Amino acid sequence: MSIIVLRNALLFDGRSDDLQDDVDIVVEDNRVREIVDGRASVGNATEIDVEGRTVLPGLIDAHVHVFAVHLNAYRTKDYPLTYLTVLALPRIKAMLDRGFTTVRDVAGGDFGIKDALARNLIPGPRAFVGGPGLTQTGGHGDHRSRTDSSDDLCGCANGLDFTRRLVDGPDQMRLAVRDELRKGADHIKVMASGGVGSPHDAIDDCQFSEEELRIAAEETALRGTYVAAHTYGSKAVQRAVGNGIRTVEHCNLIDEETAIFVRDHNAFVVPTMVCYEVTERHGDDMGLSPVVMEKLRYVIEGGLRMLEYCARSGTNMGFGSDLMGEMEFAQAHEFVIRAQVQKPIDVLRSATSINAEILNRSGELGCVAPGALADMVVVDGNPLDDIALLDGQGENLSVIMQDGRLYKNRLPAREVSTATSAPASAAH
């Protein structure tokens, strides 16, 4: 048994409207044991005085692609998975360096990378994975050229692309969902509309039939999980949510009526604002096509309006980044963009307790509470006063704790063998 005490903390627990001042947080093994007003009486422990710094739950990014090592996906079409994995390792570690102790991969990540992270074979966040994104012929995930009539989505000699899977028709959808769940997917991703990075479809396109979408939702529900849908416009979002899909990603082009529709169906919007801003800034230099660059500008215009509609309607909003390749450095800038519209505490809730709800792990992730997994970050300052403290590469994070282990600590720690400092009041 190991015990770590974070003393003298200003705590955002992931849920509350107010911060708790001057508390001690007691971690036993990999769980939060108690939160005490004032000083906790604990012996045989490692004590870290955070000196009034802000403690947050470990951050959660609900829209990443851990294997997207280049912004221009065509650069990786001939890479073997072994080489691609080596390239992905630094970007995975960098997510944890920024305080993201958990991520949801929505197209590409599989049980192999999930298990490697869970067993601490490589440093990085806890991962929830969906396997390949499911796309229809000619859909957002179909990047074949117009002269290519093969069944090879990625242009590889063996036709294999682990980031996307071609699905046409209800029977193929049922088979694909069941097969990906068999292979260890935590959720299923479907491409339910056109997209920015696909060259041959319009962003406003609706993709997959309603029956195909409904089958995906039904099959995942039978296994106690859910579908995440790539969507942009109001019609695509309403088709997806109306047929049982639980999270709709991006959603830049929706109207307020659709934000209310999502709210009333107890579904979630997962905005990914930062990916458009930073990709548009660097896309020309990275070789993106003029078609893709024009699409980027189109969705940027609608993104802030979408946030306003969702915030005003009380729609559940998660937190995602969706950054590819070289743009991944900007992951935490999503906080700054979102704070243009939302209150900082609401943005923090999106990246903690709301994302935990999306993952079906409420009470265990995204919160600092007795019984929760001990994922926490200590911020040098108060991000409710300046949310930009979370931007960058973790420079303002003094402590990163994941699953009860101190991944990073630059504060003095001392070992105590006898109980010190009697508690000022009962534990929360």
pLDDT band for 286, please (50, 70, 90 cuts). Answer: confident
What percent of the chain clears pLDDT 70, i.e. is strictly above it? Answer: 93
Edge-to-edge strand ranges of the sheet holding 227-233:
164-166, 133-135, 188-191, 227-233, 247-253, 268-270
Segment 346-350 shows an average pLDDT of 98
Segment 221-231 shows an average pLDDT of 98
Segment 288-312 shows an average pLDDT of 90
pLDDT band for 151, please (50, 70, 90 cuts). Answer: low
Is CATH 2.30.40.10 the right assignment for the domain spanning 3-58+367-416? yes
CATH architecture of 59-358: Alpha-Beta Barrel (3.20)
Could you give the residue range(s) of every CATH 2.30.40.10 domain in the chain? 3-58+367-416
Amino acid at 305: R
Instruction: Write the CA distances from 206 to 195, 249, 296, integer angstroms.
Output: 10, 14, 18
More confident residue, 387 or 1: 387
**3-state class of 200 per DSSP?**
coil
Tell me how many degrees the CA angle 238-239-245 measures, rounded to the nearest 5: 90
Number of neighbours of residue 80 by Cβ within 10 angstroms = 9
Could you give the residue range(s) of every CATH 3.20.20.140 domain in the chain? 59-358
- pLDDT tens figures, 111-126: 999 999 999 999 999 9
Tell me how many degrees the CA angle 75-198-226 measures, rounded to the nearest 5: 105
Segment 363-367 shows an average pLDDT of 98
Alpha helices by DSSP H, 137-249 = 170-182, 210-222, 234-242
pLDDT band for 138, please (50, 70, 90 cuts). Answer: confident
Q: Are strands 100-105 and 126-129 parallel, antiparallel or unpaired?
A: parallel
Output the pTM of the full model. Answer: 0.94
**3-state class of 227 per DSSP?**
strand
Amino acid at 63: H
